[in-house]
């Protein structure tokens, strides 16, 4: 009898291990052979002997880790099939950030798809998610509660532009994560017709350059330190949430703090974090996106990991899917969305110090 997927996919201390392929998926510590879904720090880590990923993800890893990106790096295009040990492996677009991929494994007559992080909404900075028919779908569940229903990103960008019209004397500081969210917010602003220069914190520059090199149009970007304080009135400034508390933020005129994240759906959390303009823009699937995707794969069996597993597992069982949580450790630590609670504290500090200085 053929081995079942739970026999050949094993949870080990390093992460999810595909035994017949001899590789780990997004391992949390250095391993001999790793397949990486995307470049966020909790999925792509340095020091593996061999790394297999899309060219976009490898470029991100090289930018972030330099020599430590891996002993040997092998790029696989979306849809390109590769035999790895006894497994047929390919990558499909995950729609999360540039280069992000679902990992598809075919072995012993069964197909298993590991979603990695994903979203279903179109994003001008990366390839659209493609559902892959499979027997077992291993899905993330960052926003796996029915309360999470993301609005249209264009409407959220319109709210930012409307605020800019109402408060032309204030610098609009938008908290964004360096990989993905930053470039998406810029691209959405351009799409909405905003063609003025956009100011960026230095920590965002390298990844913006990488996106540009990969063909993503971002328009004119200037260092946040490039202009005099008065000239920053009515400008949009993007900064990593953790950097908003830095000294440089205080030199902006009467900063209005915005934050682009799926967690901004929880208004209390935004208020608590001192965010004046919460923008619900997420790179993860919302509740409806998760449910629709599970149905679209046609999988009879769903394994739910890193996020709100319980509610989604429950929903799956009510819909007739066999479902279970898959406990993998090490995710969410550095991910753009799940890192938010700590980031909000820094926003709060920044907003307070700006208020104390009178916002001149």
- Given the rule CB under 5 A, which residues bind Zn ion? 40, 117, 335
CB nearer Zn ion, residue 309 or residue 335: 335
Report yes or no: 259 and 175 within 8 Å, Cβ to Cβ: yes
Task: Supply the minimum distance, in Å, between the C-beta of residue 204 and Zn ion.
Answer: 17
Task: Supply the minimum distance, in Å, between the C-beta of residue 166 and Zn ion.
Answer: 33
The token duo for 333 is: 């630590």
C-alpha–C-alpha distance, residues 54 and 37, integer Å: 8
Task: Supply the minimum distance, in Å, between the C-beta of residue 185 and Zn ion.
Answer: 16
DSSP state of 6: H
Report yes or no: 63 and 206 within 8 Å, Cβ to Cβ: yes
CA distances from 101 to 40, 54, 115, 275, 330 (A): 12, 7, 7, 32, 19
CB nearer Zn ion, residue 123 or residue 335: 335
- Please work out, in degrees rounded to the nearest 5, the angle formed at the alpha carbon of residue 130 by the alpha carbons of 126 and 133: 160
Selection from 240, 241, 265 nearest residue 149 by Cα: 265
Task: Supply the minimum distance, in Å, between the C-beta of residue 146 and Zn ion.
Answer: 22
Task: Supply the minimum distance, in Å, between the C-beta of residue 337 and Zn ion.
Answer: 7
Task: Supply the minimum distance, in Å, between the C-beta of residue 150 and Zn ion.
Answer: 15
- Please work out, in degrees rounded to the nearest 5, the angle formed at the alpha carbon of residue 299 by the alpha carbons of 294 and 304: 55
- State residue 62 phi and psi, 5-degree precision: -65, -40
Selection from 237, 290, 286 nearest residue 263 by Cα: 286
CB nearer Zn ion, residue 156 or residue 335: 335
Residue 355: which residues within 8 A CB-CB, separation 6 or more? none
CB nearer Zn ion, residue 178 or residue 252: 178
Q: Quickly count: other Cβ atoms within 10 Å of residue 12's Cβ.
A: 13
CB nearer Zn ion, residue 240 or residue 255: 240
- State residue 149 phi and psi, 5-degree precision: -130, 110
CB nearer Zn ion, residue 44 or residue 239: 44
Task: Supply the minimum distance, in Å, between the C-beta of residue 139 and Zn ion.
Answer: 14
- DSSP count for the chain of H helices, then E strands: 10, 19
CB nearer Zn ion, residue 107 or residue 265: 265
Task: Supply the minimum distance, in Å, between the C-beta of residue 130 and Zn ion.
Answer: 17
CB nearer Zn ion, residue 36 or residue 84: 36
């Amino acid at each position: 009898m053929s081995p079942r997927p739970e026999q050949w996919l094993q949870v080990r201390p390093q992460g999810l291990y595909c035994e017949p392929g001899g590789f780990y998926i997004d391992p949390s510590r250095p391993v001999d052979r790793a397949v990486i879904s995307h470049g966020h720090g909790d999925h792509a880590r340095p020091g593996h002997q061999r790394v297999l990923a899309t060219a976009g993800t490898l470029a991100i890893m090289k930018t972030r880790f330099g020599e430590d990106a891996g002993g040997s790096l092998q790029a696989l295009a979306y849809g390109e099939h590769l035999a790895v040990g006894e497994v047929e492996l390919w990558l499909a677009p995950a729609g999360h950030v540039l280069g992000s991929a679902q990992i598809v494994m075919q072995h012993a007559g069964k197909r298993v798809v590991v979603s990695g992080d994903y979203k279903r909404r179109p994003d001008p900075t990366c390839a659209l998610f493609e559902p892959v028919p499979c027997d077992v779908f291993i899905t993330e569940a960052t926003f796996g509660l029915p309360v999470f229903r993301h609005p249209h990103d264009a409407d959220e960008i319109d709210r930012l532009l409307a605020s800019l019209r109402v408060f032309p004397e204030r610098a609009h500081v938008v908290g964004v994560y360096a990989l993905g969210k930053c470039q998406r917010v810029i691209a959405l602003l351009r799409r909405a017709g905003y063609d003025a220069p956009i100011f960026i914190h230095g920590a965002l520059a390298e990844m913006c350059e990488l996106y540009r090199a990969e063909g993503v149009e971002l328009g004119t970007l200037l260092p946040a330190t490039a202009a005099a304080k008065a000239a920053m009135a009515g400008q949009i400034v993007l900064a990593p949430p953790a950097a908003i508390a830095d000294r440089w933020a205080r030199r902006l005129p009467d900063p209005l703090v915005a934050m682009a994240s799926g967690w901004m759906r929880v208004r209390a959390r935004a208020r608590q974090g001192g965010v004046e303009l919460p923008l619900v823009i997420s790179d993860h699937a919302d509740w409806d996106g998760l449910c629709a995707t599970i149905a679209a794969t046609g999988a009879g069996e769903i394994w739910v990991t890193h996020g709100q597993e319980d509610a989604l597992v429950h929903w799956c069982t009510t819909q007739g899917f066999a479902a279970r949580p898959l406990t993998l450790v090490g995710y969410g630590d550095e991910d753009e969305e799940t890192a938010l609670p700590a980031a909000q504290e820094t926003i709060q500090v920044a907003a307070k110090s700006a208020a104390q200085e009178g916002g001149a």
